[in-house]
Amino acid sequence: MRMKIGGDTLALDVDIRRHIETEAETLAARFPTGHLDIQVTIQEEFDPLHGHRVRCELTTRLPPSCQIIVREARKTAAEAITDVFIAARRNVRRSRRHSLPSLVTTPAVACVAHHTNANY
């Protein structure tokens, strides 16, 4: 598993980095034989409607040729990180269901799953 954590000063916090690494290891455990690339970006933002929020974006490339992009914004970084990884795990399950081999042979198609929180 390759992992890249980026963002503003929140990404430098040891507790937040540890939380991201723990969640990423849980997600990577679902692919013991495959190679997994994970990129997590954390940023603070101010929304005039909702006030101060932390936005977390997760991009992962799963074998074979599948990409999942998930974005969440919450009041705390821990909530945003947990929610983004929960949504990613849900999308991984969906992508596996869609990629199951059918009785008719079809060419391989790359799948992209997006999840965006409507409360932005």
pLDDT at 61: 84
Q: Which pLDDT score is estimated for 84?
A: 94
User: What is the domain range of residue 9?
Assistant: 2-98+105-116
Within 1-120, strands assigned E span: 2-7, 37-47, 51-62, 66-74, 111-116
Give the residue from 59, 76, 73 showing the smallest Cα distance to 112.
59
With a cut of 70, list the residues of the chain below it in pLDDT. Answer: 9-12, 33-34, 63-64, 96-120
Beta bridge partners of 54: 44, 74
Residue 57 and residue 72: Cα distance in Å, rounded?
A: 7
pLDDT confidence of residue 71 = 93
Q: What is the pLDDT of residue 103?
A: 40
The tokens describing 82, both together, are 């947990």
Number of domains in the chain: 1
